[in-house]
Structure 1
Amino acid sequence: MLKLTDLFPKPTAGQAPGAVPKKEEPKIELPPLFESPEPCDFPSQDEFAPSLDFGRYWRLNYSLLSADERKAYEDMETAIRRGFSSVQVRLPPDNARLMNIAKSLIEDNWSLFYVDTSITVVTEPGRVDVCFRYNRFREEREKYLEQMKEVARNVFETRVKGCSTAYEAEMAIHDWMIENVKYDSSDQELAHSPLGPLLYGKGVCEGISEAFCFLACSCGLKTAMASGKLKSGNHRWNIVELDGDRYHLDVTSDLCGLHAYFNCSDRTIGRSHTGFKKFGCDSDRMNYYALNGGRFVNACDATAFIRDNSVAGATFEFMVENGVMPQEVTRIVRTGAGGRVSITTTHVDHRYYRVIIR
């Protein structure tokens, strides 16, 4: 027999008599967050001790954004780590502004190698969405990240572990890259990813700067990326902070074997690189040539240095801010070497030279 209570079930706790029970909203299961480092304060350089940690990155570009832009940056980062194709942002549909935010994220967080820098902005009444484009490494990103870590472990053990200063560690990673990486754009997607330089020994500026950022951050160096123009073309390089000062570092332009762009101020790198954000790189104190006594303004200032270092079997580098012709360098070297010797000179823009005497 049907009971009255069957028609009108007993109210649950906190529910008014006669009220219709509310249906529970279905829970939405979000995709898991892909592994990513966390923004962190790196140890001060006074306390530098080599350590390998894949859980850190420097939010340098983030620091230049407004509060609203930072919120969009964080929302984009979470969406990418969940593999979403797009995310809603609470900003006006300004393509240039949104592109700058996306670019800032990619140039800070080295682990987002599976997404392209380019974005698409879709607008509807009362809504702005940023759409992402993933590359072919997305589906197996865990495997590739583990391979990157294995390379970092090798670089740390063989090059960085014995370093006593952050400068030495930076030099060790820089030199490992110029010894093991060549400029190659034959596979565009690979070349623009850190996987190219780290796993295959080849890449272009985007991949090379991301690879350096990954290795440096993992080894305890405060490092991010910057971008601008080099010889009218788009270019990317790194920013490193040492002893409280920030410097530009361009590994790609040093692949010829020099240290031409090793720790440069805005003024120094601004002779060749343009259109970059100002991160406060005001010092040349830790510049490679300044520290090694090989930085000069004019060719005549460099003559004694070149002559004194020109002995059989020597290899040395120097910089002349206002430039010097290769023929003049060869003449001075021969004068210093005092005889018929084999001389190899490598130069960048007639300002940075490496001399090898056999």
Structure 2
Amino acid sequence: MFKRLLKILILGIIFYSISLFIKGHFGLHNRLGFMGRSIDDTMGETGKLSTDAEFDEDELLQRIEQGLLGVEDSIKVDNRLLGDEEFLSNVIESALARNPEIMYYKGARYGRGKLFFEYSKSAEDIKLHRNIIRRRRDRIIEKLIRPDMSEYERVKRIHDYVIDETRYDRRYINNEPVPEESHTVYGVLGEGVALCGGYAKTMKYLLDAIDIESIVVVGETTYDNHAWNIIKIDGYYYHLDATWNDPVTEDGADVIIYDYFNLRDEDIEKTHTWDREAYPECNSNKHNYYHYNGLIADNYNQFYDRVEQSLLNGDRALAIKVLDYDIEVYDLPRIINGIVQGRVNSIGIGEYGYAINDDQGIVKIEFKYTR
């Protein structure tokens, strides 16, 4: 909420807060786990994969992926592979990660030359939902994407669309049961409600359709399990967290922020953790939202000048990333008081509010004027 400026610009500390709920929960519940096993006697005592066994991991990955896409009950697998639970789990994980159209997978069990799949919905419902998201995907791409767009512009259009059309599933916030749809692309494109897994999978699903490389990252934040994306623009990798760019507000208003749009490892590691060896390194600022759009203040003087210029221009809002941000140095009420002092009539500010992302050094200010 905005608060009135005191007379003669005697400013208190005035806060305007988006009230961001830190969102997470990827839904790892038995996502890759095995539901039990029945080992074939021919596997011997250990049931482990022989060190001299020859197999094609890519071929197995494709077979598992196609089996899950076809909502098959089982696929044939070489008995020598069935005892290596960790290996099979990793291959299934790879299939799920690279194809967001695989939905409602619940778990697997194995034995007697077969890998058996279990699902949380019927094959009929799964195929119906897949057809729906395919049609929505095609319409979205046709509507949003033009051939002359840069890769940055394409990613931003998809990012903004996902956030505009999706509400974070508040049932999770309220400790209520969350349906499986909220973990899937269908949650976003079919119902407009999702948790972080749904956001991340949908980003990948739509970016895949326009040939932008994207990966779903499974990791953690300070608060919970979480999922987001690593994307590739013009040869550079970046972290993009659409869930955290879609904050839950007190009044339910739709808000898009860009605090987590194309970040480096060293920036996102302040709040996120992940297996770095499993994902590409992200070390460029070139396509970070604030760097790309020139919304950077290298020091105090640059920040002061940007705020002053916004007030003189009568701007309604300013968002800027401050390098090496320090709340003790960047005392916003004192800065605005110093700018306005003696220029009340010419500037004509009536009230203002601000929000600060300390982790990323991002300051957002909104101004209201009397003139």
TM-score (normalizing by structure 1): 0.69
Partner of 2:131: 146
CA deviations 1:148-180 (Å, max 9, x no partner) are: 233334433443237521111111111122222
| CA distance in structure 2 between the aligned counterparts of 1:347 and 1:93, rounded to whole angstroms | 52
Aligned to 2:322: 320
Q: Conserved in 2, the CA contact under 8 Å of 1:315 and 1:356?
A: yes
1:84 corresponds in structure 2 to: 72
Q: CA-atom RMSD, angstroms?
A: 3.1
* Cα deviations by residue, 1:224-245 (Å, 9 ceiling, x for unpaired): 3111111142111112111111
Question: Aligned ranges for residues 186-201 of structure 1 at < 5 Å?
Answer: 186=171, 187-201=178-192
What is the SS of the residue equivalent to 1:198? Answer: helix
Partner residue of 1:224? 215
- Tell me the equivalent position of 1:354: 364
The 3-state SS of whatever aligns with 1:317 is: strand
Name the residue aligned to 1:21.
none
Output the TM-score relative to the length of structure 2. 0.66
Shift of residue 313, structure 1, vs aligned partner: 4.0
CA offset at residue 112 of structure 1? 0.9
Indicate which of 184, 197, 204 corresponds to 1:206.
197
Which is worse superposed, 338-347 or 217-226? Answer: 338-347
Partner secondary structure for residue 321 of structure 2: strand
2:229 to 221, 238, 241: 238
Match of 2:150 in 1: 165
Report the counterpart of residue 15 of structure 2 in structure 1: none
Q: What does 1:1-358 align with in structure 2 at a 5 Å threshold?
A: 69-87=57-75, 88=77, 90-91=80-81, 93-116=83-106, 119-122=107-110, 130-136=115-121, 138-161=123-146, 164-184=149-169, 186=171, 187-256=178-247, 257-276=256-275, 277-296=278-297, 302-310=303-311, 311-320=313-322, 322-325=324-327, 328-329=331-332, 331-333=334-336, 338-351=347-360, 352-358=362-368
Where relative contact order (Cα < 8 A, 6+ residues apart) is larger, the structure is 2
- Give the superposition deviation at 1:133: 3.0
Q: Secondary structure of the residue that 1:254 maps to in structure 2?
A: coil
Q: Aligned equivalents of 1:73 and 1:349: distance in 2?
A: 42
Query: Residue 252 and residue 340 in structure 1: after superposition, are their counterparts in 2 closer, same or farther (change >3 A)?
Result: same
Assess, with a 3 A threshold, how the Cα gap between structure 1 residues 205 and 137 changes in structure 2: closer, same or farther. farther
Q: Is the deviation greater in 234-243 or in 94-103?
A: 94-103
**Residue pair 1:325, 1:350 contacting (<8 A) in 2 also:** no
Could you tell me how far 1:324 is from its partner in structure 2?
4.7
Q: Which residue of 1 aligns with 2:21?
A: none
Task: Give the 3-state SS of the residue equivalent to 1:139 in structure 2.
Answer: helix
The alignment partner of 1:104 has SS state of helix
For 1:172-196, what per-residue CA distance to the aligned partner results, in whole angstroms no more than 9, with x for missing partners? Answer: 1111222221211533311101111
Deviation at 1:108, TM superposition (A): 1.2
Q: Distance in 1 between matches of 2:259 and 2:303?
A: 16
Cα deviations across residues 21-64 of structure 1 (Å, max 9, x unaligned)? xxxxxxxxxxxxxxxxxxxxxxxxxxxxxxxxxxxxxxxxxxxx
CA–CA separation in structure 2 for the residues paired with 1:272 and 1:167: 24
- Structure-2 change in CA distance of 1:224 and 1:307 (3 Å): same
Count of matched residue pairs: 287
Distance 1:92 1:245 in 2: 38
User: Please, which runs of 5 or more residues in structure 1 have no aligned partner?
Assistant: 1-66
Larger radius of gyration: 1
Q: Distance in 2 between matches of 1:339 and 1:231?
A: 42
CA offset at residue 105 of structure 1? 1.8
Tell me the secondary structure at the aligned position of residue 244 of structure 2.
Answer: helix
Distance 2:295 2:265 in 1: 19
Q: Which amino acid aligns with 2:192?
A: G
Change (3 A) 1:251 1:333: farther
Answer yes or no: is the 8 Å Cα contact 1:299–1:324 preserved in 2.
no
Identity %: 23
Residues 340, 73 of structure 1: alpha-carbon distance in 2 compared, 3 angstrom cutoff? same
In 1, are the aligned partners of 2:109 and 2:117 still within 8 Å (CA)? Answer: no
2: CA distance, partners of 1:115 / 1:293: 44
